[in-house]
Structure 1
Amino acid sequence: MQITKTNAMRILDVNKIPYEVLFYDNEDGKIHGTAVAEKIGRVPEAVFKTLVSHSGSNLYVFVIPVGEELDLKKAARAAGEKRIEMLPVKDLQKWTGYVRGGCSPVGMKKLYPTFIDSSAEPLDKIAVSAGKIGLQMELAPVRLADTIAAKFMELARHDSNGDNPL
């Protein structure tokens, strides 16, 4: 299958970061994280979603397992803010260049302060959006963190119901 490289993939290529592209069918409209994990044959704990938040005019990126929910208090602490809120979906493309369901932590319009849930750090590989709905890229979490200057922090709320479609 011919792959049209996304910004995220091109950045990994330039930085010589090895990754594997994983495709999934999105025609059924099911693009939420746990559905994507199932479609690519990975456990939800190894597939991560990218969430964008803000505090005033400051934007922050959080990468957490798809079956978890972002704990806004932990996220605010990680970002050094008193309080943060999720960026409205209608503003996502304006600030990141990505749409909901295809938002990658790599290749945004600007390199925002980024935090990856600490559950990723011991894993050999995690999957994140490749920057387009229907594409994921699987790579070593430490290499991902190095590429986007991310820090590993505890971010997920561990009492979630298991599937937050954000």
Structure 2
Amino acid sequence: MAKKVAKTNAARILDKEDVAHEVLQYDPQDGKIDGVSVAAKIGYPAETVYKTLVAAGSSKQHYVFIIPVAEELDLKAAAKAAGEKKIEMVPVKEILNLTGYIRGGCSPLGMKKPFPSFLARQAESLDEIIVSAGKIGMQLKLAPEDLIKTMNGQYADVTAAG
């Protein structure tokens, strides 16, 4: 009999909203929890695996950016998308207090409070993307449109690649 997968807040939200998704698990014991390593561990191309980044604008408003794991957030493009003069990444030590999640297990769903959220435009052309389930070792596979709808987000050009 298969071991029952513990639900995360992010997975519960998708269940409640009746959003089709799949929970993917990997072994984090080797300490390799960067997105590219996670993509390899779950057997999916890095272009389909997305990381969740939290940033703050010059207005002190916080924002969430979900981008492909092998890419970098373009801070100027992110500021433009958010309507801010400037955007800076939130220091790692502040992530838990702000979102309820730790680095490496930060899901775009189920944060302590909702923040304006932007999904990299590259996701628009994909049938499915993979994001953190809110716990190191767990990922969620779902349609980008469902993620946008569930997190009340929008697509934006926020990476160097566009």
TM-score by length of 1: 0.94
For residue 25 of structure 2, the aligned residue among 14, 23, 26 is 23
**Per-residue deviation, residues 6-47 of structure 1 (Å, max 9, x unmatched):** 110000000000100100110000000000000000001000
Counterpart for residue 75 of structure 1: 78
The RMSD of aligned alpha carbons is: 1.0
Unaligned runs of 5+ in 2: none
For residue 105 of structure 2, the aligned residue among 98, 102, 106 is 102
Distance 2:70 2:83 in 1: 25
Distance 2:121 2:52 in 1: 14
- Secondary structure of the structure 1 residue equivalent to 2:67: strand
Once the two structures are superposed, the pairs formed by residues 1-166 of structure 1 within 5 Å of their partners are 1-55=3-57, 56-158=59-161
- Secondary structure of the structure 2 residue equivalent to 1:77: helix
- Secondary structure of the structure 2 residue equivalent to 1:129: strand
**Per-residue deviation, residues 48-83 of structure 1 (Å, max 9, x unmatched):** 000000024210000000000000000000000000
- Secondary structure of the structure 2 residue equivalent to 1:127: strand
Unaligned runs of 5+ in 1: 160-166
State the Cα distance separating 1:4 from its structure 2 match: 1.0
- Secondary structure of the structure 1 residue equivalent to 2:106: coil
State the Cα distance separating 1:121 from its structure 2 match: 0.9
| Superposition misfits of 4+ residues, deviation over 4 angstroms | none
Distance 2:151 2:26 in 1: 25
Which amino acid in 1 is paired with 2:122?
Answer: S
Which amino acid in 1 is paired with 2:129?
Answer: I
Residue correspondences, number: 159
Which amino acid in 2 is paired with 1:18?
Answer: A
Identity across the alignment (%): 55
Distance 1:107 1:146 in 2: 13
